[in-house]
Amino acid sequence: MRQLILDTETTGLNARGGDRILELGCVELVNRRLTGNNLHFYINPERDSDPGALAVHGLTTEFLSDKPKFAEIIDQFRDFIQGADLIIHNAPFDIGFLDAEFALLGLPPVSTHCGEIIDTLAQAKQMFPGKRNSLDALCDRFGISNAHRTLHGALLDSELLAEVYLAMTRGQESLVIDMLGEAQAGGDTDAPRVALDSLELVVIAASDDESAAHEAVLDDLDKAIKGASVWRLEPAPATDEQTA
């Protein structure tokens, strides 16, 4: 299962009004594990950022002036997201901007190139109704450090969101399910398996003092119920000598 945590930074809030993407970051998860195979671009948006947006991301027109335009990175981006599920915080915002960039190049929407689009903001609102569910708030809630996040950045925010997403969905899969998922994804039926009957479990026997204390507790129970407690009625487990 291949998933991409995606985030963008933009010149403003209105894709239909001409605002553009100026940074794009993707962090790859395969079978719920970070691979380090990430994608990141600074992009020349061919326009200035609104003052409010500039205060959020800090990417000036001068800094972006020599960066590639979206048309120059589109092929690499499409290849990278092909068939993968996209995980985005407030997905309609980022997808709206990506679709606008694709449309400028005469291309179909992003959804035709990727798998499922998962909105972690919608998930968080279901999990924590009535609470703040910004990325910073979720980092605080799940104990994820974002102290190094002084400004918004597409790659940094994607890395933080990856940790948040894994924390939000951790209850859905146990370690065993994760391992089975990997085996199924790999399709390797000849992979080595652990022989459970070969495992030697360490058995720690009670000491004499612990056994005496246990018997004292049972004596008190017998007195309280004026008879034999259930632990005295159960037969003692057979020892190796008895079963030999």
Catalytic residue list contains 113: no
88 DSSP β-pair partners: 119
Name which of 96, 139, 101 is nearest 120 in CA terms.
139
Is the same domain home to 222 and 157?
A: no
Buried b vs exposed e over 47-80: b needs ≥16 C-beta within 10 Å?
Answer: eebeeebbeebebeeeebeebeebeebbeebeeb
In the set 40, 89, 113, 152, the catalytic residue is 152
Query: For the chain, what is the mean pLDDT?
Result: 84
What pTM was estimated for this model as a whole? 0.68
Task: Report whether 214 belongs to an annotated binding site.
Answer: no
Distance CA(17)–CA(42), nearest Å, equals 21
Distance CA(5)–CA(158), nearest Å, equals 6
Is the same domain home to 176 and 212?
A: no
CA dihedral 162→164→169→175, nearest 10 degrees, is 70
Tokens of 236: 């003692």
Is the same domain home to 61 and 145?
A: yes
Tokens of 79: 């290849």
119 within a domain of the structure (yes/no): yes
Is the same domain home to 49 and 126?
A: yes
| Degrees to nearest 5, angle at CA 214 with 212 and 217 | 110
Distance CA(19)–CA(11), nearest Å, equals 5
Is the same domain home to 106 and 210?
A: no
Would you write out the chain's pLDDT as a tens digit for each of its 244 residues? 999 999 999 999 999 999 999 999 999 999 999 999 999 999 999 999 999 999 999 999 999 999 999 999 999 999 999 999 999 999 999 999 999 999 999 999 999 999 999 999 999 999 999 999 999 999 999 998 877 665 678 888 999 999 999 999 986 544 434 444 554 555 555 555 555 555 566 667 778 888 888 888 878 777 777 777 666 666 555 555 554 4
Is the same domain home to 81 and 128?
A: yes
Q: In the chain, how many domains are there?
A: 2
Is the same domain home to 115 and 173?
A: yes
Residue 39's CATH number: 3.30.420.10
139 within a domain of the structure (yes/no): yes
11 within a domain of the structure (yes/no): yes
Domain that holds residue 215: 202-243
Residue-wise pLDDT for 155-182, tens only, equals 889 999 999 999 999 865 444 344 445 5
162 within a domain of the structure (yes/no): yes
Task: Report whether 57 belongs to an annotated binding site.
Answer: yes
Buried b vs exposed e over 96-111: b needs ≥16 C-beta within 10 Å?
Answer: bbbbbbbeeeeeeebe
34 within a domain of the structure (yes/no): yes
Task: Report whether 209 belongs to an annotated binding site.
Answer: no
Task: Report whether 7 belongs to an annotated binding site.
Answer: yes
Is the same domain home to 54 and 103?
A: yes
